[in-house]
Every structure is written in C-alpha cells, then in structure tokens.
C-alpha cells in the first residue's frame, strides 16, 4: 500500500513537473522572443543610424563647394544685376542637380539676398533668418547641420550652412545654405510596419516617424515653461505640439495612453548630440506571434510526455532501490577513506590547517599545534589572522584572503606566526580552495613551510651585499652631483633660448601690427587720395588721370605686399581664432606662393596657451619653408590630430628627402630651431627622411591635465 502511494505521488509530481516544464518552456520561448525582438530593434536602430548619418552628411561637401564659389563672394561684396543673375543661376543648378528643396545666400545680417526658390510663393529672398543656429554658427566660421521645420515653406528639412569668406580668406562676408527635404529620407528609411520608428530631438519632439499621427508630438510629457522655450526657437514652427501619451516603465519599456506596453529601444544619432532613433514594438503582438503556434504544437506534446513520465516512474522506482544499495556501500567506503586521510593529515610533519569563509580555523594538524605550542581547543573556531604578527595580519586581511576566496588558490605567501611563548616563525603558505556545487570556495586546505632559518641566512647575505655596494655609492653621488650641475646649465640655456624666442615673437607681433595698422592705414589713405585725384583729372587731363590710375594699382600691390609681410611675421588669425585656423590659413598661403598642393587635416583639439600654439605654428611654418626650398615636392600634407591627451602636428611631403649624414650645422634647414621650439613646448620632434622617399616632421606634445 505504501509503495502504491509513493508511485501515485510520483506520478502526480511527474504530471505537475511536465505541466510546469511546459509553462517554463513557454515562458523561456516568450523571453527568447522578447530577446530576439530586442536584438532586432537594436540591429534595426543601428542600420537606421548609419543610413541617417549618411543622409545627414550627404550635402556637407556640396555646401562647402557652393560657399567657395567666387560669384557668391562677389555678389556679397558688390551686388549688381549681372552678378545676381549669375548667383541665381548657380543656386538653381545646385538645387536641380542635387534634388534639393532650396539653395540660398545670406549676408552678414542674416538677410537672404539670393535663393533658388525666389519665384515661388514661399521665397526666402528678403527673409531674415539670423535667429537660426545654422546661421549663427556659420557667421562665426563653423559649418553647421540643422534639423528644423521651414518657417516659410512649412516643410521639414535638413539645413547645411558654410561661411563665405572674402578673397583673402580672412573675413566672413555671408553664409551659403542648402536645404534638403526630410520627407524623401523618411519615405525610404521609415517604412510602414508593426513597429514604430521615430527620430526625436533632445526634448523628445518627434521629427521623423513612420507614423504620421506621431509627427510633431512630444514623446514624453514636458512642463509648459519648457514648451514655451522650444516655441521661442521656431525650430518646429509655432505648435501646438501635443503629448503622444508615452510613459517610462520600471523595466525599461514604455506604455501609451491606451495602456499598451511597448518594447523600447533608443540609439543616439552621432552627428546630432541629444537626438535619438526610437524603436517601439507592441509586446502584445510579440506574444501573439508566439502563443498561437505554441498551443497548436506543444500542448499535445506535453500531454503525451506526462503519460510517458508516469509510466517511467514505475520503472525508475525499481532502479532507485538498487541505486540506494550501491550508495550505502559507497558511503561506507568513503568513511574508511576519510579516516585514512585524517590519519595522514595529522601525522604529516608540516603545518597544515583549514579555514572557512569567515577566516576561522576549522581544522589543524597535530604538527601545527606542536609547532605553535597550543592545544586544539585553544585554536579551533579562532581567526587564523589572530596568530599572525601585526604586519602579516594586515597583509592577509587586506590582500591575500579576498584574493584567495576569489581565485581559490595562492602560492608561497610570506607570513610571520607568533607562537604561544611569543616567539616568531617565518613561513611560506600555499593554499588550495575546496569548492561547493556552485563553484564557490567554502574552505581551504593550506600548507605552511617554516623558512625562519632560510630568512636569517638571506638577511646575513643582504647585509654583506649592502656593505659591498657602499664602496660604489660615493662615486655614484659624485656622478649624480655633476649630472645635476650639467642639468642646471642646460636648463639655464633652454630658458635663455625660450626668452629669446619669446622676444622674437613679441617683436614679430609688434612689427606685424605696425605694418598692418600704421603703414596699411597710410597706404589706404594714399589710395583714397589717388582715386580722388584720378576722378578729378578724368575730365581735365587723360594722361594725368591714367597716371593716377597706375599710382592706385601700385598702392594696391603695396598694400597686398604689406599684408603678406605682416601675415608672415605674425598671422592675426593665430591670436584671434587659434592654432587650427592659423594652420589652415598658412597652408592656403603656402599653396598660393609655392604652387605646391598643400592639404590640411584637423580633428577636434582642446584649447591651449599662446606659447604652445606659437611653437607649433612656427614648426609648421619652418617645415613648409624647407619643403618649398629644398624638397622639390608636388604635394605637402599638414595634419593636426589628438590622440588621448597627446597633440600631434605632422608635416609630410613627397619630395626628394635627404640623408641626415649630409646635414651639417650650417645648413640644417632650421632643424635645430624646430627641435628647440618643440623642447621648450614640453614636446618631442621626430624627423624621418630618406633620399627619394620624402620627409616627415612630427611634433608631439602633452596637453590637458
């Protein structure tokens, strides 16, 4: 009767186990489906991110090319019907060939002076867009990409802006702008499906979506003050912008106003800080796709498995009886083995002990007790570190024990034991961790080897070695003293060189300012007088008027020469805009003067003091001068890059190169000056050159904290 009851209980448990297993299987499938949906959302978002980044960077180069056209510069400097007609034709061609919404040109005040949509009802001509961030950044010399709703056309677009520079490349005359439609990318990338795809700004405004009803809605609820602030920017029109009704849940998902939960995934848009690609998928749709096939296929299988398990219980019961008998026999053998192990443990002539996870002793060998002078009752249950010296206790509790319980092993750890009679023992401890079924260390098996005599011999040897080394220390101190003296002399020379270079830079800056401000103003005044004289003589004496015109041309050439001289002495852009803009101006001037193609590349660099910027600029200037005079190169590259906290300036040409053995002090191409500037700036200068292989000059300097 009892056996029947056991079998009945086992059968019932088997049925419950099968049912529970089916439910767990369904639950795991559901979790797997959610996991697959999360992976799909992540993959889809990453793909959209790459595609959107390509779309948003598509017209950066075209707007830069448009801004560099001389016709735009001319119409901003002096507008006339012929120039305006040429600019309008150029804007029309850009808009048509690139399939753009509009191309337009703005003056320094933000007024649109020319546009490809000038003949349409939503023409930009005459409109003031100075409030737009893309204009503000471009007028300061920085290209910009801006997502917004058109205030005139009421159409979404991506605005690309770039400054239009004067002929000298110093002053900004206006801004060239390209507007590309967002609807085209939206129709291609954001197709209709069960999932919800959106692109939101930093405040949660839905700007692009495959759901039309969500566009220009706030994804999250904002306070009225923030909404008024957004309204003031005019980036998304004048509103109203309703709340889409979504709320964050604790599990990371979101819920709409109808109570439906969505799997939420967000990925930042790299090219626009704060903007995100949002992916939502209804959790009910995911569960429905899983539940229908599961109930049709797995349900009958669970029933069949339950019956088979019930039949198997009877068979397994008889087998279990035999297994119990075998286990009792094995347990008996295990007890005998443990007794033999215990006998070996206590009689081995080394110090053995075991501790639990709290560091308390749970077992020690007889030899350990004999060596330390304690009884077993005085040791068991006590902290092992209580028998260490103070230094060994701190070392064990702070470093060794945490590391041991993490890794389960330690080897040859030096400890000092304190015996009961206060004598000390130096030991080397090696330990192995015993783990449970969860692979966690639950106790240790440790061996301590007495190395007291060995350490005493080692200390005596160290004393002898110390005495032997004493005889050489006086000589080393003298060498160090002489080295310090030489270092002081070297530092004085370097400081003197730095002061000389700084004085040169101050003199250059003063001379450049005097040339630019005083002589330039004088020449400008002379030119104005010459123009007045030419106009006065135009109706009286043609020869005199022609000579006055030649005087104007000569004064113009002289003004240009004065500006070039002032720029070479000390470029104003280095003081006003910094190193990056100064190097770009230097390479442009170099290309004009030398007819050598000069390419400049730069990454984002941190701010730096004037001394460092001047040193790097002079190194680049000297290297370019050497390339023009000696290399015979056709292409020179200048790169300013940032690697972690090191700033690197690299000048590389494809010229003939040179052998360092052929360079003497008198014809060193200014290499010593570049090296000295790099050293004074706290950096290093590397020059790599081979005959026929070109030359590379690289200066690296530490920046930041």
Report the CATH number of the 577-702 domain.
Answer: 3.30.565.10
Q: What is the DSSP string of 234-280?
A: TTTTT----B---EE-TTS-EE-TTS-EEEEEEEE-TTSTT-EEEEE
pLDDT at 658: 81
625 φ, ψ to 5°?
-60, -45
Token pair belonging to 659: 């052998």
Higher-confidence position of 546 and 521 = 546
Distance CA 340, CA 351 (A): 18
pLDDT at 666: 42
Higher-confidence position of 367 and 564 = 367
pLDDT at 348: 77
Distance CA 487, CA 548 (A): 64
| Residue keyed to tokens 């939420």 | 264
Higher-confidence position of 538 and 235 = 235
| Neighbour tally for 576: CB within 10 Å | 10
Mean pLDDT score across all residues of the chain: 81
DSSP, res 222: -
276 φ, ψ to 5°?
-135, 150
User: Helices in 57-69 by DSSP H: which ranges?
Assistant: 60-67
Nearby residues of 571 by Cβ (< 8 Å), 6 or more positions away: 582, 585, 586, 617
Nearest to 106 by CA among 139, 58, 140: 139
- Judged on CB neighbours under 10 Å (0-12, 13-18, 19+), 129 is buried
DSSP, res 214: G
Give the distance from CA 134 to its chain's centroid.
Answer: 25
pTM of the complete model beyond 0.85: no
pLDDT at 102: 92
Higher-confidence position of 394 and 299 = 394
Report the CATH number of the 187-285 domain.
Answer: 3.30.450.20
**Residue 620: strand, helix, or coil:** helix
Instruction: Give the CATH number of domain 60-186; options: 3.30.1390.10, 3.40.50.300, 3.30.450.20, 1.10.420.10.
Output: 3.30.450.20
- pLDDT tens track for 262-309: 888 888 888 788 899 998 888 887 777 665 565 556 666 666 766 676
Query: Is the CB of residue 30 less than 8 Å from the CB of residue 290?
Result: yes
| Residue keyed to tokens 């803009």 | 581
- pLDDT tens track for 449-468: 888 888 878 888 888 778 87
Distance CA 16, CA 22 (A): 10
| Residue keyed to tokens 């080397």 | 428
DSSP, res 433: E
**Residue 398 Cα distances to 403, 412, 425, angstroms:** 9, 17, 21
- pLDDT tens track for 349-382: 788 888 988 889 988 888 888 888 999 898 899 9
Give the residue-averaged pLDDT of 134-151.
90
- pLDDT tens track for 94-103: 999 988 889 9
Statement: residue 320 has pLDDT above 70:
no
Query: Is the CB of residue 413 less than 8 Å from the CB of residue 428?
Result: yes
Statement: residue 502 has pLDDT above 70:
no
pLDDT band at 668 (very low <50, low <70, confident <90, very high): very low
Q: What percent of the chain has pLDDT over 90?
A: 15
**Residue 391 Cα distances to 360, 398, 418, 689, angstroms:** 19, 11, 12, 58
- pLDDT tens track for 10-47: 667 766 776 676 666 666 766 676 777 777 778 888 88
Comparing 88-92, 113-117, 393-397, 545-549, the range with the smallest average pLDDT is 545-549
Helix or strand holding residue 623 (H, E): helix 610-626
pLDDT at 380: 92
Nearest to 256 by CA among 280, 279, 275: 280
Distance CA 392, CA 380 (A): 20
Give the residue-averaged pLDDT of 181-196.
80
- 158 forms bridges with which residues in the sheet? 147, 180
35 φ, ψ to 5°?
-65, -45
pLDDT at 667: 47
Statement: residue 254 has pLDDT above 80:
yes
132 φ, ψ to 5°?
-75, 135
Comparing 43-57, 102-116, 490-504, 614-628, the range with the smallest average pLDDT is 490-504
Comparing 65-79, 117-131, 211-225, 506-520, the range with the smallest average pLDDT is 506-520
| Residue keyed to tokens 């998928």 | 281
Statement: residue 83 has pLDDT above 50:
yes
Comparing 432-436, 492-496, 534-538, 553-557, the range with the smallest average pLDDT is 492-496
Query: Is the CB of residue 419 less than 8 Å from the CB of residue 372?
Result: yes
pLDDT at 311: 74
Nearby residues of 326 by Cβ (< 8 Å), 6 or more positions away: none
pLDDT at 151: 82
Pairing type for strands 597-602 and 635-643 reads parallel
In the CATH scheme, what architecture does the domain 348-450 have?
2-Layer Sandwich (3.30)
Residue 252 sits at the vertex; the CA angle it makes with 250 and 255, to the nearest 5 degrees, is 80
Higher-confidence position of 136 and 561 = 136
Token pair belonging to 221: 């609820």
Helix or strand holding residue 182 (H, E): helix 182-189
Distance CA 106, CA 82 (A): 18
- 146 forms bridges with which residues in the sheet? 159
pLDDT band at 661 (very low <50, low <70, confident <90, very high): low
pLDDT at 113: 92
Comparing 149-153, 349-353, 385-389, 555-559, the range with the smallest average pLDDT is 555-559
pLDDT band at 93 (very low <50, low <70, confident <90, very high): very high
């Amino acid at each position: 009767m009892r056996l029947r009851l056991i079998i009945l209980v086992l059968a019932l448990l088997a049925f419950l186990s099968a049912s529970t297993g089916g439910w767990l299987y369904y639950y795991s499938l559901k979790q797997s489906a959610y996991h697959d949906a999360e992976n799909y959302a992540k993959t889809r978002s990453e793909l959209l991110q790459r595609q959107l980044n390509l779309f948003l960077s598509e017209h950066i180069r075209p707007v830069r090319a448009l801004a560099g056209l001389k016709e735009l510069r001319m119409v901003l400097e002096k507008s006339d019907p012929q120039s305006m007609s040429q600019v309008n034709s150029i804007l029309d061609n850009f808009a048509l060939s690139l399939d753009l919404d509009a191309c337009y040109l703005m003056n320094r005040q933000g007024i649109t002076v020319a546009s490809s949509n000038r003949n349409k009802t939503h023409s930009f001509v005459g409109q003031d867009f100075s409030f737009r961030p893309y204009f503000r950044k471009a007028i300061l010399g920085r290209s910009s990409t801006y997502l917004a709703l058109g205030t005139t056309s009421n159409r979404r677009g991506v605005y690309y802006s770039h400054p239009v520079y004067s002929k000298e490349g110093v002053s900004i005359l206006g801004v060239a702008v390209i507007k590309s439609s967002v609807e085209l990318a939206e129709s291609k990338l954001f197709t209709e499906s069960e999932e919800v795809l959106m692109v939101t700004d930093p405040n949660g405004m839905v700007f692009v979506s495959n759901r039309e009803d969500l566009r220009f809605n706030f994804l999250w609820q904002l306070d009225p003050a923030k909404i008024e602030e957004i309204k003031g920017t005019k980036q998304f029109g004048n509103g109203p912008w309703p709340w889409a009704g979504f709320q964050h849940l604790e599990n990371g998902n979101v819920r709409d106003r109808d109570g439906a939960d969505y799997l939420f995934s967000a990925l930042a848009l790299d090219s626009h800080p704060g903007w995100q690609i949002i992916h939502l998928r209804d959790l009910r749709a995911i569960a429905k796709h899983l539940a229908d096939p599961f109930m049709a296929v797995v349900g009958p299988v669970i029933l069949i498995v339950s019956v088979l398990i019930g039949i198997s219980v009877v068979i397994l019961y008889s087998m279990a009886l035999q297994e119990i008998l075998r286990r009792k026999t094995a347990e008996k053998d295990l007890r005998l083995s443990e007794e033999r192990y215990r006998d070996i443990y206590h009689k081995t002539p080394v110090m053995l002990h075991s501790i639990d996870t709290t560091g308390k002793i749970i077992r020690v060998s007889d030899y350990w007790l004999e060596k330390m002078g304690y009884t077993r009752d005085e040791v068991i249950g006590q902290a092992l570190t209580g028998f260490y010296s103070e230094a060994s206790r701190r070392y064990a509790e702070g470093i060794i024990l945490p590391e041991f319980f993490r890794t389960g092993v330690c080897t040859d750890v030096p400890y000092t034991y304190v015996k009961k009679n206060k004598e000390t023992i130096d030991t080397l401890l090696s330990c192995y961790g015993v783990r449970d079924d969860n692979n966690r260390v639950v106790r240790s098996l440790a061996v301590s080897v007495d190395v007291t005599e060995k350490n005493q011999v080692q200390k005596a040897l160290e004393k002898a070695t110390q005495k032997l080394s004493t005889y050489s220390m006086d000589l080393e101190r003298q060498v160090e003293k002489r080295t310090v003296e030489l270092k002081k002399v070297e530092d004085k020379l370097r400081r003197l060189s730095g002061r000389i270079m700084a004085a040169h830079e101050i003199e250059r800056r003063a001379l450049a300012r005097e040339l630019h401000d005083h002589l330039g103003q004088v020449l400008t005044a002379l030119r104005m007088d010459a123009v007045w004289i030419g106009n006065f003589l135009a109706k009286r004496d043609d020869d005199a008027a022609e000579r006055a015109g030649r005087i104007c041309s000569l004064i113009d050439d002289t003004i240009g020469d004065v500006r070039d001289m002032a720029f070479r002495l000390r470029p104003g852009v280095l003081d006003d805009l910094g190193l990056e803009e100064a190097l770009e101006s230097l390479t442009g001037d170099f290309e004009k003067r030398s007819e050598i193609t000069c390419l400049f590349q730069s990454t984002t660099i941190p701010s730096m003091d004037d001394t460092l910027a001047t040193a790097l600029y002079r190194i680049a200037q000297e290297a370019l001068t050497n390339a023009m005079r000696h290399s015979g190169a056709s292409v020179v590259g200048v790169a300013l890059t940032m690697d972690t906290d090191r700033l690197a300036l690299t000048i590389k040409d494809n010229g003939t190169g040179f052998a360092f053995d052929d360079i003497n002090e008198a014809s060193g191409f200014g290499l010593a000056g570049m090296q000295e500037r790099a050293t004074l700036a706290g950096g290093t200068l590397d020059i790599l050159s081979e005959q026929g292989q070109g030359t590379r000059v690289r200066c690296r300097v530490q920046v930041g904290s």
